[in-house]
Structure 1
């Protein structure tokens, strides 16, 4: 027999009146499931929301909604008074005297006088209580009745034992606190009648219901404990307790009318509340015509779909019904399956993923149980029928091997869909400016949600492979590496326990998914009820600087993900660092965001010949008030590593996705343009090639003199022009001479040489200076006049070539040899007829000057250090924040 029926049967046996709604409640609450808003993402009729009245205008709906809210407030007030009576907490307006007779043998009685006195007149807050004293035993009791009963339990004449008191009042004070907070907040939101009438469309209360339903677990504990508590109350025959249990009062309304309750009836109130009142506020089934539905409709049905409360109320309904279904399921032990180690099969996690096992992408609902992974397809039923899940496949967790593929799936072309979503979003924002466009806004929102469902199916690029001992493999796709890692961690944790899988009854297991699911809706950002001023719209720039704290050297990259609408790409990654304990990137990632609230950061280790591994992950809340147009440096803890990054945000209206400027190529473009585009002083192509040569080319004979194959160099050039991350990945496996060839090619194809042409004549004259110290001072001084990207890139290259020459005994590359290789690429004479002044240089002396200038710079022992990136924290008030 289920908990609710048992409670009703017990109350009837004790002659406690119960409203005759049990049969309808059982049918609607425990059997009818919450409404899902998802069908196939490719179906234009895929979203089904709870019905809203079509026979009345939006204004009338909102007026009815206001009436429902006022009814809810009145109901909460009555419920709080009943809880107060159960806890024997007096009202501030009254003084109550209760006499408790305590006796263990019924031959001796002593009076416990509880005098609740009101605090000073006009003072707000809870009432003050006089001390409670037992004249027979001469001990002082706590002002709170529960503590008084507990203290009395330690005497020679207890009414109830300490354990019994704790059982009887289990979770009741906590429930009162939750409902008191909800009542006070709701009352403050409603305010005066005139004020609410003017702003009822903007009135939001969904967050209050969500906050309250998040504490619904307290009712779970109360329900589980109720039978024990009711048994104690029933068995306690002491006259003292029966006198108290049969004469408890609650004040109702402004007329201070008093209602008499028995202890049993008050103890039943929370159970009655969770099985009837909680869902009566939100449930859409018209058959539940109880006292709350009759005033006049439930809250969700009177809330328009475009109202910001709609999604929150749907989620509240889902959580409430999931809770009650869970209570119903837990009472039916015959459905539980005992696994090895005495464990029972439980649902650990569920959510929406893209399944590719059937050769095409399909959005599926995945359920992770203690011993198996179940993939299902949701089937939406018609009105009045129960929704169902259809079985797709299941995989036992025993000996299951996981592998996530770092190489992303080829992205599908969704540009047209993104553009349509963008324009729908613009229409929706215009429609929301007034309540008269309610129906038009609802249609636009529904279309946007349908398109977002399609994006969820088409956009995932991260692949998680499941390999079972039976040689069957499954592949799941995720649009978020962060989400993939959460699933991988949850599965890996269960597989470590080596639990034996009991062959499931697939029909029963799939049928229970509706009741057991913890996630009902796909993650639609368009359903978010957040205020626009709490989200970001504009350009978010993230500069990834460096990482520390690695346990061993590794090639590491950082992945960044932002949420929001799917108009623009919401994930980006740095290139992979060199093999190091302290990797650094100084790489700027830029996001066009609309509705962004959170940023996820992952630190990933990349190993040759092995699967990539995630070293750590973390989530940052994007607070518009804490972001500005200036860079702010922060340190983020990601597992074993700490990543230093900087953030800045520039709010602005967004252009359609199709009109976004394409990324410029790297080769053949002025170095200042490339540096500005990448947000650095030394272009990434230079740094990455230098790091790779220093990693595995320092002992290569003839490095920079012997060139690599033309095909490898061309492939690397194309990669750098299109995708930095792909280019760096190619660098790791390409012949090192091809890497050095790419670096030389970059400098050779610069439209303006690294050392500006205007400086050629001045440098040629300085070469004639005989004093070495004077010569070097003049050359370094002239170098300061170069643009910042040119100067810092040149200094960066010079330091690198000096390190190469330190191994000249092995690589046979001296400073002069290196100057001979790089001189013609880094310095060029002016071209006659192009506006350059001064005499032209004979071609025979041209090469000599080029080589000698570079050779002089390479011989300098006090070269300034190169700065590779822009200063990301110029504001002296900006301090590093550790998250």
Structure 2
């Protein structure tokens, strides 16, 4: 059990500030040493990246408070360890007695081999536990009216020194361990009686009534696991003990002896062989990669190793002169019972956004300089220095830009939070971890020293995924604007609200992922939403389809990866159909190569309200603005049977809040839309049309439409009105038709919602059509007559039974026939 992490979590629960202190001397043989310098993202100076050199020191009182918490954590883990040793020793007497019978389970020699030095190790730790418990439970004297902390006067260093001086017992256990395991494995396979015993050893969990089931081999591994953690325990205790404390000298000597013992263990010892798990399979490395570990409010780049039965988090110590590359242990979690929870992208703070933009700006300028000097002589030294700086800055971005969170929760209460910059990568980790946890493989506690040391050879991912490290001038990679129009999805077994996440690779100058808004609850969701990426060196496109449920975590329904080739993509749209598991997503791609300029750090979404509809439609790449479609879909989803829909007003403040959301973030607006009062949704739609600078039906058409009302024959009047509609700009015409079809569907429920065509025309007429005013050709008109014309024009259009269908998006399939990709 990781005592240090347990202590930190306890301090957090008690609201005690935790500070990681720098160690003055780093000992290479200590694989458990914690990082001394926190890599916090800080503001950039013009010429360099600044990071804090040392953490803030805590007061002596706070240090002693932490020391007491660490000691209590040690006591708790000692109690657990003693229960495990007692469980291991429980069958020893019975096995020894049976050895003298005619049908022994184990021979006398085998019993001696299996339990060699275990009773002595149990007695040693029992003595240590009793002494430590007695001293921790002694009441502290009162002083100056305040209870004196026990940690101020508590001396326990002699107990630790006494225990470490008996570590020779562990030396004998380690030397005998391989032979003991061989006996257990052999007898487990050959004797059903021993197999029953070896696979169902139970240990109580202290005060709780629950019991834990172990295999014999797992319990036999416990002493080997425990001795390798002694250095960590002593190291953490020494860090929280002031130099003037009476324990300091004792603990320093105990730490030296424990490190000496560990370094004396022969690295080629057979006890460091692979571990056989209870399902007759060996522990294997299944996946590894670089992730960001979020702990204590800090972010650190870590190398994560996923084995058959556990997750191991390490940090890499690069090779130095005369010393090989090493991995240092951070933490591990067994997969048995591990629960995963991933959180969708989190918004960065404005301060973090500006800092990241400053790094991206420097990277962009550095890349431009490298390209300018690429063909010059005597530029090798400059290129080498520049590439090294580029790698360092990209490494900083890799650490501080991820926004996707993967939470890991162990049944033991331990939890860790990982951050990833790619939802696709997060889903890959989640899929393989889920599969392994479902296999229900029992965890044999690892020899952390051996397992961590083996990472250098076992790893499959050698370096962090830095584009600048392996980037080459590839004529197939993309540099310019990549547009992805996400159209629709089908194949759902039941209605759902979906959004599509699109990711690209390449340099980190620009945001590399974007998402559509969430669709309405439907079997055939559609978006017709265009996502644009500024890319430099992009070669891969990743697409994920995600389901959203109220009050539940998002679920990835499927994913796919596409190779991007500049020779195939061009300035015309190319339509693709992707099969992502059960879901089929249709999208179109278009690529425009051009030199890149870095975007502004303060770039925001273009406003939606009070903007000409042609401008907004061009910006969104659609014919019907998203605000209109989203509001209409939401009203049709839950407002068609609402009495007085469009006539009853929503709360003004709520309408204003939703309007501001549409002006700042479409995804946020749609999320708010799903839970807003339906009259607020209808109010936002009316407000959008009312605030258009130019009405949806242009003012120049007002007098022409007014004259059509004089045509007596209804069919002739409608033909004339539809002919006038064809002269409207495309976004105006298709948005108007889209709204008319919607209002006709609303009126079909007039028996319930009490909204007839005339009622709807009365509500929308003044917003959709306006008199051009003074200074324009045509007769003047008083306000009452103007309202009559507005209402009658819309009413006539609503009475038309053969309205043309509205086209919501621009045609994106002007190129060759569809391509289908199965994933």
Partner SS for 2:489: strand
Aligned to 1:415: 357
Aligned to 1:637: 579
Q: Please, what TM-score do these two structures have when normalized by structure 1?
A: 0.62
Preserved contact between residue 667 and residue 721 of structure 1 (Cα < 8 Å): yes
Distance change in 2, residues 1:357/1:40 (3 Å): closer
Task: State the Cα distance separating 1:658 from its structure 2 match.
Answer: 2.6
Partner SS for 1:844: helix
- Show the 5 A alignment for 1:113-512: 334-410=272-348, 412-413=352-353, 414-512=356-454
CA RMSD of aligned residues (A): 2.1
Task: State the Cα distance separating 1:40 from its structure 2 match.
Answer: 8.7
Aligned to 2:520: 578
Deviations 1:569-625 (A, max 9, x none): 110011111111111111100000001010000111111221111111111000110
Preserved contact between residue 38 and residue 298 of structure 2 (Cα < 8 Å): no
Aligned to 2:782: 842
Distance, in Å, in 2 between the alignment partners of 1:846 and 1:699 is 31
Task: State the Cα distance separating 1:333 from its structure 2 match.
Answer: 7.6
Greater Cα shift, 537-546 or 634-643: 634-643
Task: State the Cα distance separating 1:533 from its structure 2 match.
Answer: 1.1
Deviations 1:436-484 (A, max 9, x none): 3111011111111100000001110001111111222211111000000
Preserved contact between residue 40 and residue 363 of structure 1 (Cα < 8 Å): no
Distance, in Å, in 2 between the alignment partners of 1:602 and 1:731 is 23
Preserved contact between residue 41 and residue 453 of structure 1 (Cα < 8 Å): no
Say which of 471, 482, 507 aligns to 1:565: 507
Distance, in Å, in 2 between the alignment partners of 1:45 and 1:580 is 49
Deviations 1:730-772 (A, max 9, x none): 1111111111111011001000000000111111111111111
Distance, in Å, in 1 between the alignment partners of 2:561 and 2:289 is 19
Distance, in Å, in 2 between the alignment partners of 1:787 and 1:500 is 67
Task: State the Cα distance separating 1:410 from its structure 2 match.
Answer: 2.6
Task: State the Cα distance separating 1:726 from its structure 2 match.
Answer: 1.2
Distance change in 2, residues 1:41/1:456 (3 Å): farther
Aligned to 2:685: 743
Distance, in Å, in 2 between the alignment partners of 1:40 and 1:525 is 24
Partner SS for 2:379: helix
Distance, in Å, in 2 between the alignment partners of 1:518 and 1:708 is 58
Aligned to 2:669: 727
Partner SS for 1:342: coil
Task: State the Cα distance separating 1:529 from its structure 2 match.
Answer: 4.3
Deviations 1:662-713 (A, max 9, x none): 5320100000000000000000000011001111111111111112112221
Distance change in 2, residues 1:409/1:827 (3 Å): closer
Preserved contact between residue 461 and residue 478 of structure 1 (Cα < 8 Å): yes
Distance, in Å, in 2 between the alignment partners of 1:755 and 1:340 is 75
Distance, in Å, in 2 between the alignment partners of 1:881 and 1:483 is 23
Partner SS for 1:690: helix
1:864 partnered with 2:804: yes
- Show the 5 A alignment for 1:643-722: 643-658=585-600, 662-722=604-664
Distance, in Å, in 2 between the alignment partners of 1:41 and 1:624 is 38
Aligned to 1:212: none
Preserved contact between residue 422 and residue 657 of structure 1 (Cα < 8 Å): no
- Show the 5 A alignment for 1:527-606: 527-606=469-548
Task: State the Cα distance separating 1:45 from its structure 2 match.
Answer: 11
Distance change in 2, residues 1:331/1:744 (3 Å): farther
Task: State the Cα distance separating 1:724 from its structure 2 match.
Answer: 0.9
Distance change in 2, residues 1:766/1:674 (3 Å): same
Distance, in Å, in 1 between the alignment partners of 2:289 and 2:272 is 26
Aligned length, in residue pairs: 561
Q: Please, what TM-score do these two structures have when normalized by structure 2?
A: 0.66
Distance, in Å, in 2 between the alignment partners of 1:40 and 1:649 is 41
- Structure 1 moving runs of 4+ over 4 Å: 39-46, 329-334, 659-662
Task: State the Cα distance separating 1:435 from its structure 2 match.
Answer: 4.7
Distance change in 2, residues 1:824/1:330 (3 Å): farther
Distance, in Å, in 2 between the alignment partners of 1:781 and 1:330 is 89
Aligned to 1:612: 554
Distance, in Å, in 2 between the alignment partners of 1:760 and 1:427 is 58
Preserved contact between residue 830 and residue 840 of structure 1 (Cα < 8 Å): no
Deviations 1:255-276 (A, max 9, x none): xxxxxxxxxxxxxxxxxxxxxx
Distance change in 2, residues 1:383/1:664 (3 Å): same
Distance, in Å, in 2 between the alignment partners of 1:332 and 1:409 is 50
Distance change in 2, residues 1:41/1:634 (3 Å): farther
Partner SS for 1:502: coil
Aligned to 2:700: 758
Distance, in Å, in 2 between the alignment partners of 1:356 and 1:866 is 49
Preserved contact between residue 403 and residue 465 of structure 1 (Cα < 8 Å): yes
Aligned to 1:145: none
Distance, in Å, in 2 between the alignment partners of 1:331 and 1:433 is 54
1:793 partnered with 2:735: yes
Preserved contact between residue 613 and residue 731 of structure 2 (Cα < 8 Å): yes
Alignment gaps of 5+ in structure 1: 1-30, 32-38, 47-328
Alignment gaps of 5+ in structure 2: 1-28, 30-36, 42-47, 51-266
Deviations 1:334-365 (A, max 9, x none): 42112121122111111111111222111111
Deviations 1:223-265 (A, max 9, x none): xxxxxxxxxxxxxxxxxxxxxxxxxxxxxxxxxxxxxxxxxxx
Distance, in Å, in 2 between the alignment partners of 1:614 and 1:659 is 31
Deviations 1:33-85 (A, max 9, x none): xxxxxx99779899xxxxxxxxxxxxxxxxxxxxxxxxxxxxxxxxxxxxxxx
Preserved contact between residue 633 and residue 645 of structure 1 (Cα < 8 Å): yes
Deviations 1:253-302 (A, max 9, x none): xxxxxxxxxxxxxxxxxxxxxxxxxxxxxxxxxxxxxxxxxxxxxxxxxx
Partner SS for 1:755: coil
1:852 partnered with 2:792: yes
